[in-house]
Amino acid sequence: MPRITVSVDGVTYEEEVEPRLLLVHLLRDRLGKTGTPIGCDTGNCGACTVTLDGRSAKSCSVLAVQADGSEVVTIEGLARGQEWHPMQEAFHAEHALQCGYCTPGMIMAAIDLLKDDPDPSEEAVRRGLEGNLCRCTGYSNIVRAVQRGAREMARQEAPRETRPETRQEAPAS
């Protein structure tokens, strides 16, 4: 059986895998990363979306052997300790989930979208998430959440002096 080395959420694993093992099954069944769900058999639903070497991929449509030597980030790798990622916060704040099944994939796809378009329009969010299906929410709250998450991520990444709260603190001159 092929032996692979793969980094998942910052931890390096060495595993012997059957060639037909899908990346999503490696994550869930071997590494216990059940935060990434499986919603379909055809690559359509996007529930299983992760980041593979920096860009979004549907982990049900990648063989574990194809990820040999790669870096994978799942929904479980986003939080910093007890602190949620801003996109997770935004989904919570905007009620962007009901059953939550699509949410891990939605959040991973949303974060990927912002790499090309850090301040996306509603239309750009809808297009960017076209590969992720939600059967509950009707999408409107998801779109709002992604835009809210984007604003928060931009605020956190902005140099300190341009952050609104630090500007307020700066002495008037």
Ligand X SMILES: Cc1cc2nc3c(=O)[nH]c(=O)nc-3n(C[C@H](O)[C@H](O)[C@H](O)COP(=O)(O)OP(=O)(O)OC[C@H]3O[C@@H](n4cnc5c(N)ncnc54)[C@H](O)[C@@H]3O)c2cc1C
Q: Which residue in 8, 111, 112 sits closest to 64, CA to CA?
A: 8
Which residue shows structure tokens 């059986």? Answer: 1
Q: What single-letter DSSP state applies at residue 130?
A: T
Is residue 118 a contact residue for ligand X (CB under 6 A)?
no
Q: Which of residues 2-61 bind another protein (CB under 8 A)?
A: 2, 18-20, 22, 25, 41-44, 46, 49, 52, 55-58, 60-61
Is residue 59 within 8 Å of residue 50, measured between CB atoms? yes
Is residue 104 within 8 Å of residue 35, measured between CB atoms? yes
Distance CA 69, CA 123 (A): 36
The smaller minimum CB distance to ligand X, of residues 7 and 61, is found at 61
Site string for ligand FES, 90-109 (x = CB under 6 A): -------xxxxxx-------
Instruction: Please identify which residue in 4, 8, 17, 60 interacts with ligand FES, judged by CB under 6 A.
Output: 60
Tally of CA atoms within 13 A in the half-sphere of 158 that contains its CB? 15
The smaller minimum CB distance to ligand FES, of residues 47 and 87, is found at 47
Q: Which residues bind ligand X (CB under 6 A)?
A: 43-44, 61
Q: Which residues bind ligand FES (CB under 6 A)?
A: 38-40, 43-48, 58, 60, 97-102, 134-137
